[in-house]
Amino acid sequence: MYQRVLAAVAAALLLASCGIGGGASGNGNGPTVVTYWSWISGSEELVDRFNATHDDVRVVLERVPAGTGGGYSKMFNAVRAGRAPDVVTVEYPQLPGFVTQNVVRPLEPLGLDELEPEFPAWAWQQTELGGQLAALPLNIGPTVLFYRADLFEEYGLEPPTTWDAYRATAERLRAEHPDTAITNFGSNDAALLAALAWQAGAEWFDTSSGNWRVGGTDEPTGRFSAYWESMIADGLVTVGPTFEERHVTALQEGTSLTLIGAPWTAANVSRFVPELAGAWGAVPLPQWDAGSPAAANYGGSALAVPEGADHPEAAAEFIRWAATSPEAVDAIAGVNTSYPAHLGQAEVWGPGIEAANPYVDGMNLPETAAAAAATVDPGWEWGPDMTVGFARLVDETTTGLDRPGGLADALRRWQDATRDQLRQRGFDVGG
């Protein structure tokens, strides 16, 4: 009996010492271990390259579900429970939520604010919230239009440069090739809807008056929603979830000719329709005013250090490397076609991506993306609860878009419900 107890105690001690031993390797003589939570494709390659070139810090990647699919919730809970990782991936729309919930720590004390001149001003503005740098932009999603260059040529069409020309092209397609639509209007993609509003010059959130203002009814929003309502009502586009079976089938059959996206979209397209390599071209998104080209940001992500991270300095070293070094761009070029936020990285990205990813080669994506990245409207802000904001937007826009005023009504309902929800949530909400 006593022997058995003794054995149990010994086993427990042994386990405990193993635990201590495991923890000690992080701050002893070996490299500092940094845990990185991400779901972005190419994260493995990124981390492997960092570890291969650094001796002082070793990054351990932990795959989490995509942010709005549970990843963000996991991060919030980890911080709350005092088990935060050292680095997390955050998308721009959710960053204000991370800041208002005190989930990330400012990056100024870690010296990352000195990098400001190396990033586009609008991208920096997306991550500098309330006067503090909440995250470092990693990649961005300047809007571009992907089009089937082969079929455009076959049908004698030119890629449209304005939204009016885009509609005229759609009408001609409908008349000459009745089975073919110019695009699929994504009914499950709130971020794309926001990007289209952003490009038109809308501002859905505004904190300049010291509290939250929510607007889904300004003139640019009305202009863009009226445009798409009539495109849908006149049957010029299909409506349905993006990259779900029906959309993919239409892409495969060549009955959906353009895709509104960003550089990262190319990797998705290559995964869904690999057989269309070489068929695509990329041009700037059609313009409202051809005289003053405008783009929006659609997607992309930044790197942040959570509150309670064990090794913030080492985390900052990894973040600085990932978001500024040409090596980091090279590491992921084969699997991820995201456009880097960093100006220096962006310069090496073009030739690198075309060499590493044959699908992208010949699309003219680098020039198009660079032009778009330089013309993103810097005035856009995101709200403090965008996971709910996007879910609500999808809820409102899934049905009823084919009526006149359908999209505008949905956006008005979204605006009113968002104001109400933020007020109930405890935020100071103005008009």
- Please, which of residues 20-39 interact with another protein by CB under 8 A? none
218 scored as a contact of another protein (CB under 8 A): no
DSSP-based helix, strand, coil % in the chain, nearest 5: 50, 20, 30
Report the nearest approach of another protein to the CB of residue 263 (Å). 24
The tokens describing 352, both together, are: 């690198």
The answer to whether 326 contacts another protein (rule: CB under 8 A) is no
> Pick from 122, 212, 380, 382: which binds another protein (CB under 8 A)?
212
How far apart (Å, rounded) are the C-alpha atoms in residues 295 and 98?
26
What is the residue type of 296?
A: A
Of 42-50, 237-245, 291-299, 348-356, the window that binds another protein (rule: CB under 8 A) is 237-245
Interface residue with another protein among 82, 156, 210, 431 (CB under 8 A) is 210
Strands (E), 103-179: 128-129, 132-133, 136-142, 144-148
Per the rule left: phi > 0, alpha: psi between -120 and 50, beta: everything else, 319 is: alpha
Separation of alpha carbons 100 and 382, rounded Å:
12
Q: How far is the CB of 125 from another protein (least distance, A)?
A: 14
424 makes contact with another protein (CB under 8 A): yes
Shortest Å, Cβ 90 to another protein = 14
Stretch that binds another protein, among 206-214, 229-237, 347-355, 358-366 (CB under 8 A): 206-214
* CA distance readout (Å), 256 to 177, 187, 237, 238, 375: 11, 15, 8, 8, 27
Please identify, using beta-carbon distances, which residue of 239 and 353 lies nearer to another protein.
Answer: 239
Give the residue among 319, 306, 331 at the shortest CA–CA distance from 119.
319
- Read off the tokens for 392: 């609500």
Q: Which parts of 294-412 are beta strand (E)?
A: 297-304, 339-340
Q: How far is the CB of 338 from another protein (least distance, A)?
A: 24
Among 42, 97, 160, 340, which residue sits at the site for another protein (rule: CB under 8 A)? 97
Question: Residue 238 interacts with another protein (CB under 8 A)?
Answer: no
Window 367 to 396, contacts with another protein (CB under 8 A)? 384-385, 387-388, 391-392, 394-395
**375 close to 368: Cβ distance less than 8 angstroms:** no
Of the candidate residues 51, 100, 255, 268, the single one contacting another protein (CB under 8 A): 100
DSSP code, position 280: E
Q: Tokens 């996971």, residue?
A: 387
CA-based end-to-end distance of the chain = 74
Select from 151-159, 228-236, 282-290, 421-429 the region that touches another protein (CB under 8 A). Answer: 421-429
Burial 281-307 (b: 16+ CB within 10 A, else e): bbbbbbbbeeeebbbbbbbbbbbbbbb
Stretch touching another protein by CB under 8 A, among 9-17, 129-137, 139-147, 259-267? 129-137
Site for another protein in 52-71 (CB under 8 A): 68, 70
The residues binding another protein (CB under 8 A) are: 68, 70, 73, 76, 97, 99-102, 129-132, 187-188, 207, 210-212, 240-241, 244-246, 249, 384-385, 387-388, 391-392, 394-395, 398-399, 421, 424-428
